[in-house]
């Protein structure tokens, strides 16, 4: 009789314990499925953002790259050269040759970042640590020499 009751209690304990373990595992699975769905949405959003960012980018524009390659330029060295030339203009004595605004407080206007849109256009932002603005200019490579021409610029109002 004691053996029967002990067996019954043991079976009941095992049933309740396994039921709790099963429910706990189900809850974990549901949480993980929710996380996976959230992460998939985040990845899809990042892929879309990445695509949007690559739309106006020389390195992703096959037609613009082909333009340079047809002229005999190696784009893997030309693109860094263009950026380096623009950043090198920051080191010119006096005012920056491409930025039509004077710096404030004795600071010089410097180009901070550059985006090569295609084989003809560049946008850049500039600042002197107090005021900032953006530039839109065209460029061309003639016999290995870069020529920049300011098309438009604006300065954000001071706050």
CA distance 9 to 7: 6
Phi/psi of residue 115, nearest 5 degrees: -130, 115
Reported as a single tens digit per residue, the pLDDT across 58-108 is: 888 889 899 989 988 888 899 999 999 999 999 988 888 899 888 888 888
Domain ranges of the chain: 1-54, 58-155
Tell me if 139 sits within 8 A of 120, measured CB to CB.
Answer: yes
**Top mean-pLDDT range of 21-35, 40-54, 90-104, 128-142:** 21-35
């Amino acid at each position: 009789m004691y053996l029967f009751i002990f067996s019954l209690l043991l079976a009941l304990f095992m049933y309740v314990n396994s039921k709790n373990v099963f429910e706990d595992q189900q809850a974990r699975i549901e949480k993980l499925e929710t996380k996976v769905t959230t992460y998939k949405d985040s990845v899809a959003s990042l892929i879309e953002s990445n695509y949007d960012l690559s739309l106006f980018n020389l390195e992703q524009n096959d037609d613009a790259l082909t333009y340079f390659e047809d002229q005999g330029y190696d784009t893997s060295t030309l693109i860094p050269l263009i950026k380096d030339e623009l950043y090198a203009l920051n080191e010119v004595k006096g005012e920056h040759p491409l930025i039509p605004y004077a710096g404030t407080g004795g600071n010089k206007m410097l180009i901070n970042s550059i985006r090569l849109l295609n084989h003809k256009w560049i946008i850049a932002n500039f600042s002197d640590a107090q005021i900032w603005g953006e530039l839109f200019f065209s460029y061309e490579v003639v016999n290995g020499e870069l020529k920049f021409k300011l098309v438009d610029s604006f300065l954000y109002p001071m706050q």
